[in-house]
Amino acid sequence: MLDEVTARDTVVAAADRLFYARGVQAVGMDAVRAEAGVSLKRIYTLFPSKEDLVVAVLALRTRQWADGVERAAATATTPGERILSVFDFLDEWFREDGFRGCAFINSFGELGATSPRIAAAVRGHKEAFQEHVLGLVREVGLPDAVALQVVLLAEGAQTTAAITHDADVAREARRAAASLLAVGGARTP
């Protein structure tokens, strides 16, 4: 029998795969049970509601996002390069098999109007990303408004890539971000 942490992680990972591939509302808890190999009773002990499970999946996605952005920035030597590395992360992600866009946007579209907790989790993730970019923009010495512009390029790239299945969108968004930074006088590669 799996310990509580392992069972929790197993259920969240299974739900993440299913929700991302099919959508949250299309996936029942029986499908999560079958995918995770954990009994429904145990799942409901760990997550008293499906909403609790969705919030846990979004927390996992937040960690994955932060890790991916950090990994992409690992070789960057300037704040400008770290800003542009976000688009390198997106480019790699968009090329993965099964890419279906942003799990936060997808979840918000499905449940944001009816679940304040899910809406708050999505907002929290998006605000944290904007704060991250804002910090980098300030390090470069550009106006705060540039951070929102860069974030909009990243968000737009995610949506466009999901709809068009064009992974090259990340590279175009990177070029646009580089132009924004250059106009402001930031040195970028």
- The predicted structure's pLDDT at residue 167: 96
- Residue 184 above 80 pLDDT? no
pLDDT per position as a tens digit, 66-125: 999 999 999 999 999 999 999 999 999 999 999 999 999 999 999 999 999 999 999 999
pLDDT per position as a tens digit, 17-40: 999 999 999 999 999 999 999 999
pLDDT band at 131 (very low <50, low <70, confident <90, very high): very high
The hierarchical CATH code for the domain 1-48 is 1.10.10
CA-wise closest residue to 157 among 89, 90, 107: 90
Task: Tell the residue number behind the tokens 């959508």, with chain if given.
Answer: 23
* CATH 1.10.357.10 for the 55-183 domain, yes or no: yes
- Residue 188 above 70 pLDDT? no
CA gap 181, 183 in Å, rounded:
6
Q: DSSP letter at 24? A: S
Give the residue, 2 or 99, on which the prediction is more confident: 99
CA-wise closest residue to 124 among 170, 91, 132, 27: 132
* Domain ranges, ordered by start, for the chain: 1-48, 55-183
Same fold, 1-48 and 55-183: no
C-alpha 52: how far from chain center: 18
- Is-above-0.85 flag for pTM? yes
DSSP 55-124: HHHHHHHHHHHHHHHHHHHTT--SHHHHHHHHHHHHHHHHTSTT--S-HHHHHHHHHTTT-HHHHHHHHH
CA gap 115, 34 in Å, rounded:
25
- Residue 186 above 80 pLDDT? no
To the nearest 10°, report the CA torsion of 119, 61, 44, 26: 70
Task: Give, to the nearest 10 degrees, the angle between helix 116-140 and helix 50-73.
Answer: 10
pLDDT band at 1 (very low <50, low <70, confident <90, very high): low
CA angle centred on 76, ends 75 and 80, rounded to 5°? 170
